[in-house]
Amino acid sequence: MKKIRHPRDLAINGAAPAFEQPVHVGRPNIGDECGFVRRIREMLDRRWLSNDGPFVRELEQRIAARLEVRHCVAMCNATVALQIAARALGLSGEVITPSYTFVATAHALYWQGITPVFADIDPGTHNLDPAAVRRMITPKTTGILAVHLWGRGAPDDALRQIAEEHGLKLFYDAAHAFDCSLRGRRIGQFGSCEIFSFHATKFFNTLEGGAVLTNDDDLAETMRLMRNFGFAGYDDVVRLGTNAKMVEASAAMGLANLECVDSFIECNRRNYEKYREAFAQIDGVALLPFDESERNNFQYIVVEVAEQCGASRDDIVAALHAENILARRYFWPGCHRMRPYRDLFPRAGLLLPNTARVAERVIVLPNGTTLPDGVVDVIADVVIQVARGGHIRVETPLTNGRREGTDG
């Protein structure tokens, strides 16, 4: 493994990169490969590929049991699941949500003709700040879509109180939070419903996929109808619907991965502990800790670069990219600065100071079962050298040759 003891050892200064192949944030975890292939053969023999197939049903039952929730409604991805949930909850007008999230959270609302109104975050947790949510309520507000960012539970008690006071629906984007807990209860049980992503890059994946978890029988039934064009029988369409079905191949992957979730967590936790140890020694760069009193999947390794650090966040990202470690600037620049929303709310930034600050400081580092040995030490060594000013400054870091986010 490459040793970086001096600025001249940095690839950004001309040395050979630490890794020949890119080290990604979001390399998929693949669990029981033989179990997946066996199920695919079974699926082909059965000639049942989609439409509420036996693997989808089994996956739904197992996830509902694991998360201790009555209903799991599997879908093709979390973005469409969020849209269906918003529609099933009867939302309209404005829904309050964070800007500091993956853009799918805002897009899902806007796609449904609902205006996402962005509230600021707590800079300590990166989750919605309830006081900021209160400030954004108007007569048009019908709901709150909070996010359990990085798998850390959003402040449900305070949000529920606000929702009750104002007659608002509360639901959660739990895309990052599979197998996590909040105050000792599994995420999946909060609000009217919670939406999980099982995208390839997520800690638990079904190739592409997602699900809505809810304890509300009627809501679950409505969403089951909505995901399959509103069909209640062969010729009986009882409501407006779309095609949001999970296919059997995805469910087969989910079943194969579900058996290995505990080992994924163990691996993520080991890596997280290595990162924690390494970053404890670096001034100006801090790891966002997981709450050890909760159940965590340890997937997102989030570090924040302080103003007093000797280098900017983007300098550090550029130096890591030069080593072929493709660290990410999630969720820069914030949804409100992306074009569809920038045009909608040109002055939104005035009310989102914490969002702006956090979005300028965060780096997300690789984790997961494919993490090469020694990568944490290399990352720490790169950050140490760059933080001491031993790098060539660059204006615009690139991710796989394309710019992330926008300039807005």
Q: Which residues bind ligand T4K (CB under 6 A)?
A: 24, 26-28, 77-79, 101-102, 104-105, 147, 173, 175-176, 197, 199-201, 210, 330, 400
Least separation in angstroms between CB 77 and ligand T4K: 4
The encoded tokens of residue 182 equal 């909040």
CB-nearer residue toward ligand T4K: 103 or 136: 103
The encoded tokens of residue 210 equal 């997602």
The pair phi, psi for residue 250, each rounded to 5°, is -65, -45
Query: Beta strand pairing status for 94-98 and 141-147?
Result: parallel
CB-nearer residue toward ligand T4K: 352 or 387: 352
DSSP state letter for 8: G
Least separation in angstroms between CB 328 and ligand T4K: 6
Q: Which residues make Cβ contacts (< 8 Å) with residue 107, sequence separation at least 6?
A: 79, 340
Least separation in angstroms between CB 18 and ligand T4K: 18
The pair phi, psi for residue 115, each rounded to 5°, is -85, 120
CB-nearer residue toward ligand T4K: 120 or 173: 173
CB-nearer residue toward ligand T4K: 347 or 402: 402
Distance in angstroms between the alpha carbons of the first and the last residue of the chain = 39
The pair phi, psi for residue 231, each rounded to 5°, is -75, 130
Least separation in angstroms between CB 259 and ligand T4K: 20
Q: Which residues make Cβ contacts (< 8 Å) with residue 348, sequence separation at least 6?
A: 99, 118, 336, 341, 342
Query: Residue 204: which of 233, 244, 174 has the closest Cα?
Result: 174
Least separation in angstroms between CB 208 and ligand T4K: 7
Cα 328 from Cα 238, distance rounded (Å): 44
Least separation in angstroms between CB 16 and ligand T4K: 22
Cross-strand partners of 362 = 304
The per-residue DSSP string of 33-89 comes to HHHHHHHHHHHHHHT--SSS-HHHHHHHHHHHHHHT-SEEEEES-HHHHHHHHHHHT
CB-nearer residue toward ligand T4K: 204 or 272: 204
CB-nearer residue toward ligand T4K: 130 or 366: 366
CB-nearer residue toward ligand T4K: 82 or 132: 82
Least separation in angstroms between CB 354 and ligand T4K: 17
Least separation in angstroms between CB 103 and ligand T4K: 8
> Is 290 within 8 Å of 176 (Cβ atoms)?
no
Least separation in angstroms between CB 355 and ligand T4K: 14
CB-nearer residue toward ligand T4K: 195 or 319: 195
Cα 311 from Cα 324, distance rounded (Å): 19
Q: CA angle 307-319-317, nearest 5°? A: 55
CB-nearer residue toward ligand T4K: 4 or 212: 212
Helix axis angle for 248-258 and 261-280, nearest 10°, is: 60
CB-nearer residue toward ligand T4K: 11 or 177: 177
Least separation in angstroms between CB 211 and ligand T4K: 10
